[in-house]
Structure 1
């Protein structure tokens, strides 16, 4: 009988794309994939190290696996596994911990599924993580995450990602296009491009440091992939989002008017302390360039609150900066100290109670921004890609510019693109729509 394997993914879209690839490797070896809540012979947990909570949640997930099958073999992979393999190996029930280069060869380490008294570690020095493994996720029928780049050469003072994922390197353009075609053949309508620093695409494409292709070359080539209705850029650094890319997206037939651009702080002083590669003036310039060519574009922003040395004045500077900026929503991160980062050694630590208060204020601002953006879209005509879940009698979907809509449940709408008029905002903050009869093909 086939052995059963189950997966749990913490963290970012990139992790989801990699879990999918690892899962396909298992299926190719004859394993049967089951849901994480079911009894399996092997549980693979793909870890994240970006937030404190991800560290704590790992133990809870291990317990979930043990309650489903106390004799199961449990493996940990991913960023946290690379950064702190000993810590994960010490968690009761964990049998195997694999670092950045080993995770894609996990089936090679599974000759014997006997439970270990101690977690066995196979973790490289991160300098050895210099080769590229392509991946994409096709778990969700309507949308796939396509990895195009890995690692990062930036040295932001708060971030452990370069330690967890190694140097910046890219997939070969022909591989990306091949993967996109494979996704298209599965009937998936939308691809989200993902990576650690996707604007750096092209670096390390052929194992060298120079750029063979640029990010603009990548988006132009993907625009011609047959069968993909929508392409979405997940997150791109403001200094790497060039005017040419914005102009291309504005007239592209498949790239959607949705950008997610990390800011981290609206104070230049804090941006310098973080070693970000831009100042807030450049950020304003990017937002204005997008809104000029795509007034209906959705712009999401990452912000960190409570960075060492962030005074009330710095925070208010960030708050007012964001309040005045024509953006659509925020992802707010409360700063948490990370081992082996410069920021963890900085003085002027912001008390956690103040960090939490600032976080709450920015989350409130995000709700206000999202509401204002949705209100600006009422009365417009958009296309919606409907998703597959029945949520309390409704089907949900997203417009090209990332407005979330709801409609009474109809299974025939799953994975369909429909032209709609945006009518009004619901009490739960979602958009009510009315269909225009023509179906978008």
Structure 2
């Protein structure tokens, strides 16, 4: 029996697709193993959002060669779509598959036998992203306590800094009925929480270029699925996060009070340079609406520092805007130049040392925001879904509103929803729970 191992770089969407692809290998008789277990086949699912992701791919290929020099190495994902020839030139790579081909690994490659000739260029399978791409239902399972369920792929937004439309193609979605069916399959496996993922999930409903349904209709249908205790919405664009969606989440018992809403910049000028589809006032209004209906809601924010045209004054506008917003944490990205994007022609360019300084300032602000949000909830009772990993006799999990909790490890708590009292924040910025309390199963 051949052994196969997977390595995933990037977003939750990549994790859902890797998991789905791994199940096709198991169906074909492969044994799924860890990277270090001398697999016969290595599948590396790549990201290309930043330059670091590209470098990390090369590093992982080298690692695979050390583990098994005779192992077959296939590279899939966004980097594979954008720069197939560059990947093909990496020593040790046997096949490169783009966005349309990654779900056809067995059909295109066959026996996964390493060629002695080393003619990797014959093993590039890469369809032009301009062609109509199929939609592939994907979800992760048996990888983590929570499952990532893909509901949408691709993006029609031409943001100046982003390569994702080039890597994943036009916006396209699953049907509501297919997503509901997948959620029922996941529920049957015993999973308690599903995270909805996609490139631009608020744009859900486009099938073959036509609007067939909406994201609101999707979450209304999922809310009725039996067996799933929690649904969590991953990143959603502020212009697509309607008041109706916010109101529905506020009234739902299954959709948790947690939103992740990309801002990218708090400067009106930089937002325009980025070609974002909203203004600062709309973003502020969305936060206010959420907090009015759900004061306990956790709100995460994506922000990019160092985009071309971001002066010191523009960055301070972003910093001050974020500082005043009632948000819970930041995901900070340092801008990196990407080929074939509009941003590479924008001036002035921000020096690398300034990008690093600005990133550090926002990371400190994020810690401040997270601590303030956690502190608000000390003394409250929340429901935690505990994860399987053990670390020095402790385990962690997340409350419904995304507070990370630490507790003494107990295998009976894994993948169960438990009601706990939050008592204090420790040095690792984890919320500790009351010891020796009667832990109640949440039904």
Q: Which bracket does the TM-score occupy, shorter chain normalised?
A: over 0.9
1:240 matched residue in structure 2: 240
**In the TM superposition, what whole-angstrom CA distance separates every residue of 1:229-266 from its partner, at most 9, and x where no partner exists?**
00000100000000000000001010000000000000
1:340 matched residue in structure 2: 340
2:192 matched residue in structure 1: 189
- Residue among 135, 139, 149 paired with 1:136: 139
1:110 to partner: Cα distance: 2.5
2:382 matched residue in structure 1: 382
Distance 1:210 1:128 in 2: 16
**In the TM superposition, what whole-angstrom CA distance separates every residue of 1:78-97 from its partner, at most 9, and x where no partner exists?**
00000000010000000000
Distance 2:91 2:420 in 1: 52
1:68 to partner: Cα distance: 1.1
Distance 2:442 2:380 in 1: 16
**In the TM superposition, what whole-angstrom CA distance separates every residue of 1:48-77 from its partner, at most 9, and x where no partner exists?**
000111000011100111111100110000
2:118 matched residue in structure 1: 117
1:381 to partner: Cα distance: 1.1
Moved more, 418-427 or 368-377: 418-427
1:21 matched residue in structure 2: 20
Distance 1:172 1:322 in 2: 36
- Is structure 2 residue 441 aligned with structure 1 residue 439? yes
- Is structure 2 residue 181 aligned with structure 1 residue 178? yes
1:38 to partner: Cα distance: 1.3
Distance 1:437 1:311 in 2: 52
Q: What are the within-5 Å matches in structure 2 for residues 390-405 of structure 1?
A: 390-405=390-405
1:111 to partner: Cα distance: 2.5
Distance 2:210 2:277 in 1: 19
1:147 matched residue in structure 2: 150
SS of residue matched to 1:264? coil
SS of residue matched to 1:232? strand
Q: What are the within-5 Å matches in structure 2 for residues 49-198 of structure 1?
A: 49-112=48-111, 113-115=113-115, 117-119=118-120, 120-198=123-201
Conserved? CA contact 1:101–1:129, under 8 Å: no
SS of residue matched to 2:353? helix
1:367 matched residue in structure 2: 367
Distance 2:21 2:377 in 1: 40
Distance 1:303 1:139 in 2: 32
TM-score with structure 1 setting the length = 0.98
Distance 1:214 1:79 in 2: 26
Which residues of structure 2 form unaligned runs of 5+? none
Conserved? CA contact 1:5–1:32, under 8 Å: yes
Distance 1:95 1:437 in 2: 52
Distance 2:268 2:438 in 1: 47
2:306 matched residue in structure 1: 306
Distance 1:279 1:42 in 2: 47
**In the TM superposition, what whole-angstrom CA distance separates every residue of 1:144-171 from its partner, at most 9, and x where no partner exists?**
0000000000000110000000000000
1:130 to partner: Cα distance: 2.4
1:114 to partner: Cα distance: 2.4
1:109 to partner: Cα distance: 2.3
SS of residue matched to 1:40? coil
Conserved? CA contact 1:389–1:395, under 8 Å: yes
SS of residue matched to 1:76? strand
Distance 2:161 2:185 in 1: 37
1:141 to partner: Cα distance: 4.1
Moved more, 246-255 or 134-143: 134-143
1:427 to partner: Cα distance: 1.9
SS of residue matched to 1:263? coil
Conserved? CA contact 1:302–1:330, under 8 Å: yes
Conserved? CA contact 1:98–1:121, under 8 Å: yes
Distance 1:308 1:231 in 2: 37
Distance 2:57 2:350 in 1: 26
Distance 1:24 1:129 in 2: 25
Moved more, 128-137 or 300-309: 128-137
Conserved? CA contact 1:37–1:64, under 8 Å: no
TM-score with structure 2 setting the length = 0.97
**Length, aligned pairs only:** 437
Conserved? CA contact 1:300–1:328, under 8 Å: yes
Q: What are the within-5 Å matches in structure 2 for residues 209-358 of structure 1?
A: 209-358=209-358
SS of residue matched to 2:383? strand
